[in-house]
Amino acid sequence: MNGEYRTLATDSIEADILFYGLERCRPGHVFRGNNIRSNYVLHFILQGQGEFAVANQHLTTLHAGDIFLLPKGKPAFYQADQSEPWTYFWIGFNGLNIDTILEKTKLAQRYFLKDVQGSRFANTLTQLYQALHNEYGLANDLHIKALTFEMFFNLLNEFPGSKSPSHNQTELQFQAAVNYLKANYQAGCTVTDLAHYLALSRSYVYDLFKRYANSSPQQFLTRQRMEDAKQQLITTALPIKEIASGVGYSDTYTFSKAFKRYAGASPNAYRQQNRL
């Protein structure tokens, strides 16, 4: 009889949720409790903005869609903005090997992640927070455990630390991103479409472009569209509406505003100034 039997060698991982909550902060609100914790607390900013820093690091302004981590054993400071105070939910974790997991992610380097909304990590973190409000029972307890491990898996996969992936791999990812934008900008693709195509988070894609192109992916995409539009304005007699559509804009007004911001003149003015 043919079959298979193997033993599994894995690191034992425990992930216990100690507490959770939500805070709609007042302007300028600062946490006044013990700022050196014996556990890890993930915060997901839902609205507004504020400042955050871990000991010996510069203050960073964080906004809705960003994540910050209060690390275990290190003092941290965080304060709501005076004019747009943040609202966030938090979940406190403890458990065996959570330190090891976090050390292999970008959270170990900066203790915050920007622009994570739409990522699988953010989605499962939100689902986990929602599941914590369900009526207690074995089924929901298992659901919470499953979401917890899925959330950490997505964190590791989407926001790896600096040692992973390799330099060559990041170059290939960047080139794939550039190829996608060049092939699809005329069809109105977005940075979100790009992130989904690459199966990477928007934050990771942003870091790729800042590293290799010294621009954001949105700036790169806009430049691709505007340079194409400039050539068409100079070399063709196509109506502005057709040019706008041809470089990925669904309406002429939005295109004209973007073009003027990029080129310093409206499409019509640019055509008159540069007509061949």
Q: What span, in angstroms and rounded, lies between the C-alpha atoms of 82 and 76? A: 19
Burial class (CB in 10 A: 0-12, 13-18, 19+), 116: buried
Q: What span, in angstroms and rounded, lies between the C-alpha atoms of 124 and 126? A: 5
Q: What span, in angstroms and rounded, lies between the C-alpha atoms of 54 and 165? A: 26
Phi first, then psi: what are they for 84, rounded to 5°? -130, 70
Q: What span, in angstroms and rounded, lies between the C-alpha atoms of 117 and 126? A: 10
Q: Distances from the Cα of 223 to the Cαs of 120, 149, 158, 247, in angstroms?
A: 29, 40, 27, 11
Q: Does residue 247 contact residue 255 with C-beta atoms inside 8 Å?
A: yes
User: Would you state the pLDDT for residue 95?
Assistant: 72
User: Would you state the pLDDT for residue 73?
Assistant: 83
* 159-170 pLDDT, tens digit each: 887 655 555 778
User: Would you state the pLDDT for residue 1?
Assistant: 43
* 83-123 pLDDT, tens digit each: 999 999 999 988 767 777 888 888 887 899 998 988 999 99
User: Would you state the pLDDT for residue 195?
Assistant: 86
pTM, two decimals, is: 0.58
User: Would you state the pLDDT for residue 2?
Assistant: 56
Q: What span, in angstroms and rounded, lies between the C-alpha atoms of 200 and 150? A: 16
